[in-house]
Chains A and B, each alone.
Chain A
Amino acid sequence: MVDLTSTPILVTVILGVVGLAIPAIDAGRRERGIDRNKLYSAIAFGALAVAMGIVIFKVFTGEVLPAVAFSEGVLVDDLFGSFFAIALLLVSLMMTASSWNYWKGRSNPAAYYSLILLSSIGMVLIAYSTDLVMLLVAWELMSLPTYALAGFAKRDPVSNEAAIKYFMFGALSSALIVFAIGLVYGMTGTTNIGDSVRAMTNLDASMMPVGLLAVALFIAGFGFKMGLVPFHMWLPDAYEGSPATIGGLLAAGTKKAGFAAALRVIVLGMFALNADWTLTLAILAVFTMTIGNIGAIMQRSVPRILAYSSIAQAGYIMIGIALAPYSDQALSGSLFHIINHAVMKSAGFIAVAAVAVGLSAYSLEKYRGLAKRMPITAIVLSISLLSLAGVPPLNGFWSKLVLFGAAINAGPLVEWGPWLAIAGVLNSALSLGYYAWIMRKMYMEEGPDMSKVKEPRAIVAVLVFALVFMVGFGIWHAPLLEFASQAVPDLSFMSGAAPGPLGR
């Protein structure tokens, strides 16, 4: 029996009702003169804010189960889910608020906001799922609206191409996930994640290859959303081609939902299989960050740079997942970096949206002299890029510190652990190559037109919020890290790892 007052249900009801009501209202209204975009933006923002408020309220009142819990039902109201719900709703909130300006004068605002809300439900439910079927349903609920959103500019061939590519790979990955779920069900006779993990621990040795195949399919299926190399090829095209706010939603939101699913299924499932799987993820992590960074260096379009950068960032997050059994800080580092990256990358894409509104341009050449033309946008974009690169004292530095520190501390248990930290540090240095390049264009060069451009007000508000978040949690990151470390299970017992010298 589902508890109707639990967080995921409340969020689903609120966002679902409002998400369905917006098109209904739109169908009923025909009078001119009212800016429909602003109206729906405000409604959607309000609904998301209420949902966010409920999640935070539930966390503070302690009605939420600690860490990762399993249940007999299909959903569980635990801290892990709430952590992701906060991060994901934050992204949706920022995107809806900036759409107040960005979506002005574009087609079909009702459908646009409705789809964002429905996709948000999917993202949040993924984080709370404890059943593979529920997870699949939530996965589809998250993905289907975003296919439509990616191709929302229907007269724009680039947007259409983005949507088609995204959809093809989405369909492929969904098929792989269904296949993997089928294999798990065949082996264990249940779709409940907790039960199947328990059943897999006693798996007959002859079934092991099938179990590994299921894991591989899960990695491929979720890895598509997470942007892992080699499942990343669609990603730059889709992020760049989509409208900027949707690019942000994909990079900062759905990508994180992919991590939530992966953490729920792959990591826990693999513990059960007890295979030497961590090296696989570590290799994927190194390739992901390196290919992402190298790919970004020569790009000429800012959203495309951000897309490649988000591939690289997925690699950093993977460090924590690969090292989960060896260090008690690895997973909390991953979660910490996930919420940081959600805000940093959203800020980046929203800054791109602001430039798109102000200058109708995406190309790096058009960013020349931006510091004079759109000072707030330029400074927030710069700070978010620095934070992505991991420059202290911004929040991105601290999550990277925790991740790399975990990798070094894992040294006594796995000899390749420290190499992940070295790869991460070298990649961070490399990434400054293109982050600093953008800043150089904005601050040190001058374009042909240096006239001041009005910065859209709602977007400025969101950017300032992101700035406060990045700098504030950079100076005092303890609350966020504490939240993250409470939301992850302590897996170190699996390999008998002692708490690292960094301690907790």
Chain B
Amino acid sequence: MVTEFFDAINVWLIWILPFAGAAIIPAIAKGSKSARNYIAVGFALASAASAATLIPTALAGHEVHSQVSWISALDLKAGVLADPLAIIMTNLVAWISFLIMVYSLGYMHGDRDLTRYWFFMLFFIGSMQLIVISDNLLMVFFGWEGVGLASYALIGFWYHDRKKDYVGVEGHRAGGIAMWTAPTHAGMKAFLMTKAGDVMMLAGMFLIFAYAGTFGFKELLADQGWAQAMAAENLLVPAAVLLFGGAVGKSAQFPLNEWLLEAMTGPTSVSALIHAATMVKAGVFLVARIGPLFFALSALNTGQFFEVVAWTGAITAFLLATQALVSPEIKKVLAYSTGSQIGYMMMALGIAGISLNYVDGYTAGFFHLMSHAMFKASLFMGAGAVLHTVHSRFMTDMGGLKKYMPKTYMFMLLAALSLAGAPLFTSGFWSKDAIFAAVLESGYSQAMPLFIMAVVVAVMTAFYTFRMIGMTFFGGKSKHVEKIEHEGHHVHEVGAVMWVPFGILAVATIIVGVSGFLFEEQLHHLFEEYLGESFGIHEAAPATERVFLNLNPVAAAASFGAFGVGAALGYVFYIARKADPAAIGRNIVTRGIWTFLYNRWYLNTALYWGGVIGPMAIYRFIWRYFESTIIDGINPAFQGAMTYMSRWVKGSQTGITQTYLFVFGAGILIVVMLLLL
């Protein structure tokens, strides 16, 4: 048992190290502040190095599976499973997290509560790694909740609720609900909304456990009797959808998407971590984890589950992309974009399960996850650098920063091009194109609507990306920038400890982009082997005829076109500034649309009225008429009874030895009589 643990110690250490680091950080902080900072980063690096030792295993197509007994009463085992999927993901998480930790050294420099910051960052990384590397749903759920806790603590990190840490425009209300949020409120909102998903996930998990008697991914696959039993009672798809409910909450998919935007109240490094490496990717990873299992069970009609996944993804992608068009805050644009891109991934993973070629969609979805992780981390850190310099979250307070922050500009531009899907040399192009191709080739009866939605989203993505770059770096200096310059602040480039991390990621996204089709092919090959060996999922038919660079012609044309249209519009309005966006406000129709999008489709309003204000009224009623009369009436009686009995026992304890001896003797008689009974 113990030897099994040590044989796979490098796998265990991936998640144990960050937790261990988190545990000792407060102790080190008592001694030296700078040692604390470097040791925190060191633990992230050590975890990443531990993850890197697994890369050869993944390339060879092997896997490491190590288990130790955990809760023996239920025959539950704790285990780690490093298969190619987990190995790629764990490396992605570990290295991006490490870069963000390095970036934090600069970004968070001088903050008073850094011990808390490092503690929760490491806790965050450890929890995410636990999700990635665990071999069973129960441990995944522990990591899942750990991620939730850490995100709550970090989103609300600046709990003094100073005005500058808010998100949203002050005074903006929609349907009577304030649309600007304090950090503490945002943290709570994120925690509670993801909890709604967690409850569903818990229900799904235990539903499966009730039939299978195990949480292990391997065990669930090995003996599929549970699935047949569940399918016979029409519970298999509901259980799968409940599990997906957890992913919806964590990955901020419709209808649990609202928390993601307010999550911007945290430090930008936290936003980068949430959006690139941890938290929102946990949901996608979960779907990637359980997807093949349910696809292997497709004889039991699990297709409906994948339809739910695909449509949820498509709706979210569309919904959040439209809202990103009108947001005035740089971090919120990126946040909307994250939700929207995650929608793409969900769509790909969902469409994979409906199509004949599971591997295609699966690869596309996961490839997009990888490329998004890189460019979104880079963009967030770049945005953080801008915020750090101009002390404002509004893009209207920026402008013309290109010549002041050339490195930030260059790297953000590269990452932004990847987000927009600039053809042929960015990773975002290849992964998005792969998703288009997967949707087109799926053979799903509703593939066309999905495809059209995906393309429209791509147009909007290119547009809002150029809008963001244009408003931030081009044009003249805003009044705000002039004001702070006037006050003596020098608007300048950030230090190397900040720009190097996001520079690395921006360049990485281009390297992956330039070698895009090779990269995709490798990934495809790896997953083909992995899915074939582990799940028995094979390519059903040879893929459709493809031309140049293995592209699907329609999908490629759509990718080119979407980027072209979106980017051109963005360029005209915000970079060349040939047309004035203010024109929108003059037309009643466009203005109406703008207001609708700006108020976030009134989803937040509905959420608060239906989920907060309404229930609170009911609870108040219950408290008033049930609790304060009935419960408070019963409690004293119970208390009185216990006190009376306790007095009685106390009274019998006289302290007189004769009494004691008498009871002892009587006791012997009683025992004898009981035995003779």
Which residues of chain A have a CB within 8 Å of any CB of chain B? Answer: 164-165, 168-169, 172, 176, 209, 212-213, 215-217, 219-220, 223-224, 229-231, 233-234, 236-237, 275-277, 279-280, 283-284, 291, 294-299, 329, 398, 401-402, 405, 430, 433, 476-479, 481-482, 485, 502-504
Contacts and interface: CB of A to CB of B under 8 A. Distances in A.
The bracket for how many chain B residues form the interface is: 35 or more
Contacts of B675: 212, 215-216, 275, 277, 280
B75 A503 contact: yes
Contacts, number: 104
A216 B663 contact: no
Nearest to A161: B655
A479 to B, nearest CB: 8
Given A231-B667, A294-B645, A297-B643, A502 B676 contact: no
Interface string B625-655: 0000000000000000011011111100101
Contacts of A165: 657, 660
A477 B645 CA distance: 36
Contacts of B1: 479, 482
A482 B69 CA distance: 9
Given A295-B646, A478-B72, 9 more contacts: A212-B675, A216-B672, A220-B668, A220-B671, A234-B660, A291-B649, A433-B642, A482-B1, A485-B72
Nearest to B659: A233
A504 B646 contact: no
Nearest to B73: A502
A230 B670 contact: yes
Contacts of A430: 642
B518 interface: no
24 contacts: A168-B657, A216-B672, A220-B668, A230-B667, A230-B670, A231-B664, A233-B663, A236-B653, A237-B653, A275-B675, A279-B674, A280-B671, A284-B671, A294-B642, A294-B646, A295-B649, A298-B650, A401-B73, A476-B70, A476-B78, A477-B71, A478-B70, A479-B1, A502-B74
B677 A276 contact: yes
Interface string B54-79: 00000000000000111111110010
Interface string B134-177: 00000000000000000000000000000000000000000000
Contacts of A329: 73
B222 interface: no
A486 to B, nearest CB: 12
Nearest to B74: A502
A61 to B, nearest CB: 15
Interface string B397-426: 000000000000000000000000000000
A133 to B, nearest CB: 23
Given A291-B649, A298-B643, A212 B660 contact: no
Given A169-B660, A231-B667, A295-B653, A478 B646 contact: no
Given A168-B661, A216-B672, A230 B73 contact: no
A230 B642 contact: no
B666 interface: yes
A217 B645 CA distance: 30
A169 B663 CA distance: 12
A113 to B, nearest CB: 30
B676 to A, nearest CB: 6
Given A209-B676, A212-B675, A297-B646, A220 B664 contact: yes
A168 B659 CA distance: 13
Nearest to B670: A230
B71 A233 contact: no
Contacts of A298: 643, 646-647, 650
A295 B650 contact: yes
Contacts of A164: 657
A481 B72 contact: yes
Contacts of A236: 653
Contacts of A231: 664, 667
Nearest to B667: A230
Nearest to A208: B676
A502 B1 CA distance: 21
A219 B73 contact: no
A202 to B, nearest CB: 20
Closest 4 CB pairs of A and B: A230-B667, A233-B660, A280-B674, A295-B649
Nearest to A234: B660
A329 B648 CA distance: 36
Contacts of B649: 291, 294-295
